[in-house]
Amino acid sequence: MSESAEPVFFDTLFHRKRKHGKWDTVDAPQLEGLVADTHAHLQLLNDPALALARCAAHGVGFLCTITDVYEDGPVTYDRLDAWRHEAAVDVARLVHRC
């Protein structure tokens, strides 16, 4: 992993970036109702499937990923079914870790 790349944490915790490459674990927000993420960029994440799994684990009921049809479209649309399948596997593993 390059120095500028952010690490991938395989958990359902929330991580806040600190100085000098350090990360803190912070409390997840306490959600009192259904949540929708209406502006995600899955294609820009290191592990889009893990992001979808975390959404499921935290009760996000709807996620809209934003794409530029010409720049992002092929990546997002061609990989979306695979990300969803990987996310289903990941969420099962994440829930068993809790």
Residues 13 and 51: beta-carbon distance below 8 Å: no
Distances in whole angstroms, Cα of residue 72 to Cα of each of 13, 42, 65, 67: 28, 10, 11, 5
Q: What is the pTM of this model?
A: 0.81
Q: CB-based contacts of 64: which residues, under 8 Å, 6+ apart?
A: 36, 37, 38, 39, 40
Residue 83: pLDDT band by 50, 70, 90 thresholds? very high
Q: How does pLDDT run across 64-79, given as a tens digit for each residue?
A: 999 888 888 788 888 9
